[in-house]
């Protein structure tokens, strides 16, 4: 079941990036992030209901602070992404390079969460980097 959800996530993110690429030609990346925030606010009741109600939602002050930092970084990354895509004829190639962010996540997890590197993970990182470079090569 989790593989199906991951596959759906990949499809949704791919469609999202494509649609945002279309809209960035007519709208500032900053305004795009504001629209995203407004849409999210309207979705909150649905998300709470999908979680089984407000009483099922777990949180702590630390998790709120970490999520706030992550959100600010995500907004900054999205603005950088959409700014780089604006007027670009290399949307696919740019997106391939940007898709290497899991490598950063893996490195941070190894440093701060003591995640172990296996030979398979190292080969996977090399394959990701090599594949992204080859797909983005002009």
Tokens of 83: 């700014």
pLDDT tens digits, one per residue of 111-136:
888 888 889 988 988 888 888 778 77
Question: Quick check: 85 and 94 in contact, CB under 8 A?
Answer: yes
Same domain? For 126 and 83 the reply is no
Same domain? For 12 and 29 the reply is yes
CA distance 83 to 76: 11
> The domain containing residue 83 runs over which residues?
1-88
Tokens of 129: 């980097």
Single pTM value for the model:
0.71
87: closest CA among 11, 29, 15?
29
CA dist 34 → 39, 41, 75, 111, 117 (Å): 9, 11, 10, 33, 38
Same domain? For 74 and 127 the reply is no
Same domain? For 42 and 76 the reply is yes
pLDDT tens digits, one per residue of 34-90:
999 999 999 999 989 988 888 888 889 999 999 999 999 989 988 888 888 777 777
């Amino acid at each position: 079941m989790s593989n199906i959800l991951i596959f759906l996530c990949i499809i949704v993110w791919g469609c999202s990036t494509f649609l945002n690429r279309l809209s960035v030609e007519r709208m500032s990346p900053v305004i795009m992030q504001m629209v995203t925030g407004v849409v999210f606010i309207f979705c909150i009741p649905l998300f709470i209901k999908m979680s089984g109600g407000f009483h099922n939602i777990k949180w702590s002050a630390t998790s709120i602070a970490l999520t706030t930092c992550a959100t600010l970084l995500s907004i900054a990354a999205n603005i950088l992404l959409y700014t780089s895509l604006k007027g670009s004829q290399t949307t696919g190639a740019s997106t391939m390079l940007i898709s290497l962010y899991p490598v950063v996540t893996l490195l941070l997890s190894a440093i701060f969460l003591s995640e172990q590197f296996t030979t398979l993970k190292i080969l996977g990182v090399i394959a990701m980097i090599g594949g992204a470079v080859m797909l983005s090569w002009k």
